[in-house]
Structure 1
Amino acid sequence: MEALAMIEKTTQIMAQYAGRDKSLRSLYFGLILYSTKLRREKAALLVAFAKQMSQTRLVLRQFNHFAMIQACRNAYNTYVNGPTDRVEYAFVSGITGIYTVYGVVELLAWLADAKLIAMDAGRLFKYCLYMWISALICGIIKTARQIMKKGLRKSKDEQLTLASLGSDFISAINSLPFNILWAGKLSTRTTATFSLIASVIGLYKLY
């Protein structure tokens, strides 16, 4: 019965955008991490295969624009009605706004990378990285605040979220093109490990 229940739950999760995205993300970073243990030729083949997972996620995200617009509308309606917690609202609406703009910029970067529009894809992808880091910082502060309000015993879910956001933040900073904090100083194995941790936590929380 437990196996059947797990299959049914997994089927439900895989039917959702979040389930497919987290699964692909976990698979991508799992393959990248494993490739660091292989010889150069085999590692290159595995990395090329893993990049297909990343590209698939990028394509799937393009179907998320309407959901983000709706999220912005919901945030506006909350503002009109008066949020009960203004600080929480500021972080949530800020994160929503950042990811909405992120989606548009990423779409332009994708089209530019495919040579369909005359824009600098590299620069646009850098803007996406900056926005992602900004959203992560907002998420970390928001989640830490929730933990402080609830206390450690009643905030297990928030603690998992904080661990996930923190792991992504470590990897994201390492990807920055300029010298700040630990940017460019971590190995591929280290960044893949932190990103995999964040991905697995995200997938686990769906269950």
Structure 2
Amino acid sequence: MELQRLTRVFGIYAGRDKFLRAAYAGLVILATKEKDPEKAKRILAFAKQFSLARLIFRQCNHPQMFSSIKDLYLQFTTSNKIDIFDYFLTSSITGIYTVYGFAELIAWLSDAKIIIADSGKWFKWCLYLWLGALAAGIIRTIRQIFKKPFEKTKNDQITLLGFICDFISGANSLPPGMLWSGKLTPRQSATFSFIASAIGFWKLY
């Protein structure tokens, strides 16, 4: 049964993505604990392979994002009862991630010297978009928690924890002077990222 569940999770995009992200964060944490600089360097180089794999796999997600936008449009035009605020947040998250996907594609292609563009600028926009989507997700989840009896909000609370950990880690990479940019050590930032990824994988499992 456990093997079947694991096979099912690894068989979907989200499961593979969360695993690769958790592995990347785990390796970064391991590298920060390694006293031998050469070994730490090799571990970080290996970790970057997981990050690159995630980036490439995400390029296969564009059709799904367009499908999600289509579904949201159909919901808006056909549903008689709709929570406007929740719909706005959900649509914002989906729309942001759709734009994020194309911004990341440009950043990746420019970084690989396939096209001429400022990859650093595009990756920075990806960070802004991701944090925006996380902020919308945090607001939406908090709202869902307040709308339900407390005893039925366990999964929402875990989801909220994952979003917050992601936001804390992501905001650390913002330009200097924004929020707590640069205040976390690499190990602390990777730990928050690992927790968020582990939560995401556990929810799928």
- Alignment TM-score > 0.5, same fold: yes
The alpha carbon displacement at 1:49 in A equals 0.1
RMSD in angstroms over aligned alpha carbons? 0.9
Q: Equivalents in 2 of 1:188, 1:182: separation in Å? A: 13
Alignment partner, residue 25 of structure 1: 21
Equivalent of residue 125 in structure 1, options 123, 126, 151: 123
Alignment partner, residue 163 of structure 2: 165
Alignment partner, residue 74 of structure 1: 71
The alpha carbon displacement at 1:23 in A equals 0.7
Q: Equivalents in 2 of 1:100, 1:80: separation in Å? A: 21
Alignment partner, residue 132 of structure 2: 134
TM-score when normalising by structure 2: 0.97
Equivalent of residue 8 in structure 1, options 4, 8, 25: 4
What is the number of equivalent residue pairs in this alignment? 203
TM-score when normalising by structure 1: 0.96
Which 5+ residue runs of structure 2 have no aligned equivalent?
A: none
Q: Equivalents in 1 of 2:171, 2:188: separation in Å? A: 13
Determine if the alignment matches structure 1 residue 36 to structure 2 residue 32.
Answer: yes
* Cα deviation code 1:17-74 (max 9, x no counterpart): 1111111111110111111100221111000000000000000000000000011111
The alpha carbon displacement at 1:108 in A equals 0.6
Equivalent of residue 114 in structure 1, options 112, 124, 127: 112
Q: Give the letter for the 1:12 counterpart.
A: R
The answer on whether the counterparts of 2:109 and 2:115 sit within 8 Å (CA) in structure 1 is yes
Determine if the alignment matches structure 1 residue 84 to structure 2 residue 82.
Answer: yes
Determine if the alignment matches structure 1 residue 49 to structure 2 residue 17.
Answer: no
Which 5+ residue runs of structure 1 have no aligned equivalent?
A: none
Q: Equivalents in 2 of 1:205, 1:184: separation in Å? A: 30
The alpha carbon displacement at 1:183 in A equals 0.7
Alignment partner, residue 154 of structure 1: 152
Determine if the alignment matches structure 1 residue 145 to structure 2 residue 143.
Answer: yes
The answer on whether the counterparts of 2:131 and 2:167 sit within 8 Å (CA) in structure 1 is yes
The answer on whether the counterparts of 2:145 and 2:156 sit within 8 Å (CA) in structure 1 is yes
Q: Name the % identity.
A: 50
